[in-house]
Structure 1
């Protein structure tokens, strides 16, 4: 009876010791909080179509070429 009690007490201490150090001795790792980034606003649309800009530059080049002659 004395050996059974001693073995039971030793087993209880061994199990409780393992459970107490189950996490290890390393520092806790804290994950960074999740940050939801707001999407950038769309750039404002130009009031002038790019086609008109190209036509204007072409017209200016033609006028400059005609003026040189």
Structure 2
């Protein structure tokens, strides 16, 4: 009788330890942040304006 109770207790403990299901886990895709290229070319517009102003002053 003791062996039967012990076997039932072990079977109950083993079955309750198995949690979850066979479904695939949901994995979220990583977030990728891309740096903008406008920060490195921020000097182009002021230089272009300076050249245009210099050309306007030189033509007078």
Q: What is the 5 A alignment of 1:1-69?
A: 3-20=1-18, 22-24=19-21, 27-35=24-32, 37-41=33-37, 42=39, 43-45=41-43, 46=45, 47=47, 48-49=49-50
The change in CA–CA distance for 1:34 and 1:44 in structure 2 (over 3 A counts) is closer
The alignment's TM-score, normalised by the length of structure 2, stands at 0.53
Structure 1: state its 5+ residue gaps: 57-69
Instruction: Return 5+ residue gaps in structure 2 as ranges.
Output: none
Tell me the CA shift for residue 44 of structure 1.
3.4
Over the aligned positions, Cα root-mean-square deviation in angstroms equals: 2.4
Name whichever of 22-31 and 6-15 sits farther off: 22-31
Aligned length: 47
Q: TM-score, normalised by structure 1?
A: 0.48
**Cα distance between partner residues in 2 of 1:12 and 1:34:** 45
